[in-house]
Structure 1
Amino acid sequence: MSEQTVLTEVKGAIGIITVNRPEVMNALDVPTVLALEQALDGMEKNKDVRVIVVTGAGEKAFVAGGDIADMNSRQALDHYIEFAEVIHRVFRRFELSDKPTIAAVNGWALGGGTELLLSLDIRIAAETAKVGLPEITLGLIPGAGGTQRMIRQIPLCKAKELMFAGAHITAAEALSFGLINRIVPKDRLMAEVMELAERIAHKSPLILKVMKRTIRDGADMPLPSALAHEQAMASLIFDSADAHEGCTAFLEKRNAVFTGK
Structure 2
Amino acid sequence: MTDERPILTSRDGAVGLITINRPTTLNALDVPTLLELERALGELESDDGVHVIVVTGAGERAFVAGGDIADLDSRQGLAHYLDFAEVVHRVFRRFETCDKPTIAAVNGWALGGGTELVLSLDIRIAADTAKFGLPEINLGLFPGAGGTQRILRQIPPCRARELVFTGDQFTAAEAVAWGLVNRAVPKADLMAEAMATAQKIAAKSPLILKLTKRTLRHGAEMPLGASLAYEQAMIGLVLDSQDAHEGCRAFLEKRKAAFTGQ
Aligned-partner Cα distance in 1 for 2:30–2:215: 33
CA RMSD across the alignment: 0.7
**Aligned residue in 1 for 2:93:** 92
**Aligned residue in 2 for 1:186:** 187
Mapping 1:161-240, distance limit 5 Å = 161-240=162-241
> What is the number of residues matched between the two proteins?
261
Aligned-partner Cα distance in 1 for 2:133–2:243: 40
Q: CA deviation at 1:180?
A: 0.3
Query: What residue ranges of structure 2 are gaps of 5+ in the alignment?
Result: none
In the superposition, the TM-score normalised over structure 1's length comes to 0.99
Aligned-partner Cα distance in 2 for 1:21–1:167: 25
Q: CA deviation at 1:70?
A: 1.1
**Aligned residue in 2 for 1:38:** 39
**Aligned residue in 1 for 2:136:** 135
**Aligned residue in 2 for 1:120:** 121
**Aligned residue in 1 for 2:54:** 53
Provide the secondary structure at the position in 2 that maps to 1:239: coil
Aligned-partner Cα distance in 2 for 1:235–1:125: 36
- After superposing on structure 2, the runs of 4+ consecutive aligned residues of structure 1 that deviate more than 2 Å are none
Q: CA deviation at 1:135?
A: 0.3
Q: CA deviation at 1:81?
A: 0.6
**Aligned residue in 2 for 1:68:** 69
Aligned-partner Cα distance in 2 for 1:71–1:209: 36
Percent identity between the two aligned chains: 69
Provide the secondary structure at the position in 2 that maps to 1:215: helix
Which letter does structure 2 place at the counterpart of 1:27?
A: A
Q: CA deviation at 1:3?
A: 1.2
Q: CA deviation at 1:2?
A: 1.8
Aligned-partner Cα distance in 2 for 1:79–1:115: 18
Q: CA deviation at 1:11?
A: 1.1
Q: CA deviation at 1:255?
A: 0.5
Query: What residue ranges of structure 1 are gaps of 5+ in the alignment?
Result: none
Aligned-partner Cα distance in 1 for 2:214–2:46: 18
Aligned-partner Cα distance in 1 for 2:232–2:249: 22
Mapping 1:19-34, distance limit 5 Å = 19-34=20-35
